[in-house]
Structure 1
């Protein structure tokens, strides 16, 4: 049975008090509280730092067994190497997630490419070919040239998800390339109608046995957390 995982990008936001976090809750308890209300989080910390074994074990200790962490791949892979000869580096990064992986808590690994990197099918195929054949991967392309059938076909070949990323600057096409889906909804505000439309889209994916991972924007207010909580409170049977 497919599952909807909904959350935000990160959890360490003191300005979410007192609307989401209790006013007197210490920062060390934020993740524990977050995990009582949402069932996944996107970790952006790993874009600049490798998460140590101790850090990962600390995360695992305060969340329930069904909670999933989606991990943003390190910038050395995506922004410095730009996928060029980066498969070995990426394999090392994936191996660094061993505590989370062994516990079955990695929802997805997200490779977010820089806006200036244009489509290169040969580069993408070489990178994917060199990666370990395990775990769920998603790619967020931020240049329009990537949104083309040859790229979608490559992702399908390797069962990697096209990250559907929506922001004020660029909107990715909603194309299914894997047996799971990844959404990054980055607008600051979503109307009730927009949220209902997304909820229906997610129900359709679930009805086709696709797990769905969706992450709202974080930052100044906890609105994204409330949007995610609203999604999780709705029927998920596709009816």
Structure 2
């Protein structure tokens, strides 16, 4: 299942990197904590930034993460829970501007998709989600314009996009059964936003509708949420699915909410993150899946 020039960019990584149980197991003994990102980024091609979900980070943090990773590395950035869990998408224009101004664009070309995760209690409301999707910027120029609307709390801690215009991608992770709807899939396709393929040990919906020019996966554990690893058979099945998606096709056994198939594409980029970190499965599973797909890396 080798990576071919006709396939989309395929990146397999982990959700976060700073976990105490990983020290001495994934990370070499006595590796300084400040060196953990640099080590992880040489083993894997992408990492999901989680800190941005809990609070606004600072430009100097994003700049440091940029500087500590290889030139071809990519970060996914998790959008603030303040918008998704607390405000529940109501009156979020200025909070979104604050996030966009907080320094995320210091990542430069290493900025990959932005992830928006919604709580299990939040149901699908078409008008509310349509309004939010319209607000999300699709390139750095639009992001800079919106970021300038930040409020006074951001004084002295902002950084706006600079340089050539680059596109921005967005993905959403849902956790309520009401999203298992053809109307929601149609809305995502209209806005070209990816639906996260989320494996959550059957706790929340797992959908594989293709809704954008890329696919975003979060593998939280197939038997025990955040804890269980993936055996060779499970990894081989995910490799089969990813290989179809990166070549622009759909698997015949796809779990979908819409009867309408996505248009076939020449290729789709794929971003996959293991979030089964409790027992140190995530980095090992990510490396194994990358090897199956022919995209393993280990930079010295």
- TM interval, shorter chain, is over 0.9
Name 2:271's counterpart in structure 1.
Answer: 213
Cα distance in 1 for residues equivalent to 2:173 and 2:93: 17
How is 1:192-203 mapped onto 2 (pairs within 5 angstroms)? 192-203=232-243
- The Cα of 1:35 is off from its aligned counterpart by 0.6
How is 1:80-95 mapped onto 2 (pairs within 5 angstroms)? 80-95=86-101
Tell me if structure 2 keeps the 8 A contact 1:40–1:69: yes
Q: Decide which moves more: 203-212 or 23-32.
A: 203-212
Q: Which has the larger radius of gyration?
A: 2
Name 1:177's counterpart in structure 2.
Answer: 211
- The Cα of 1:47 is off from its aligned counterpart by 1.0
How is 1:24-103 mapped onto 2 (pairs within 5 angstroms)? 24-96=30-102, 97-100=104-107, 103=108
Cα distance in 1 for residues equivalent to 2:12 and 2:101: 25
Tell me if structure 2 keeps the 8 A contact 1:88–1:131: no
How is 1:107-186 mapped onto 2 (pairs within 5 angstroms)? 107-134=112-139, 135-168=168-201, 169-186=203-220
Tell me if structure 2 keeps the 8 A contact 1:32–1:63: yes
Name 1:229's counterpart in structure 2.
Answer: 287
What TM-score does the superposition give when structure 1 sets the normalisation length? 0.93
Q: Decide which moves more: 154-163 or 228-237.
A: 228-237
Cα distance in 2 for residues equivalent to 1:189 and 1:131: 34
Cα distance in 2 for residues equivalent to 1:13 and 1:76: 24
Q: Decide which moves more: 216-225 or 177-186.
A: 216-225
Structure 1, unaligned stretches of length 5 or more? none
Structure 2, unaligned stretches of length 5 or more? 140-167, 222-227, 249-266, 296-300
How many residues in Structure 1 have an aligned counterpart in Structure 2? Answer: 235
What TM-score does the superposition give when structure 2 sets the normalisation length? 0.75
Q: Specify the SS of the correspondent of 1:104.
A: helix
Aligned alpha-carbon RMSD (Å): 1.5
Q: Decide whether aligned partners of structure 1 residues 235 and 7 sit closer, same or farther in structure 2, where only a CA change above 3 A counts.
A: closer
Q: Decide whether aligned partners of structure 1 residues 235 and 98 sit closer, same or farther in structure 2, where only a CA change above 3 A counts.
A: closer
Tell me if structure 1 keeps the 8 A contact 2:229–2:276: no
- The Cα of 1:218 is off from its aligned counterpart by 4.2
Q: Specify the SS of the correspondent of 2:292.
A: coil
- The Cα of 1:95 is off from its aligned counterpart by 3.4
Cα distance in 1 for residues equivalent to 2:13 and 2:120: 24
Cα distance in 1 for residues equivalent to 2:121 and 2:97: 24
- The Cα of 1:5 is off from its aligned counterpart by 1.1
Cα distance in 2 for residues equivalent to 1:194 and 1:223: 13
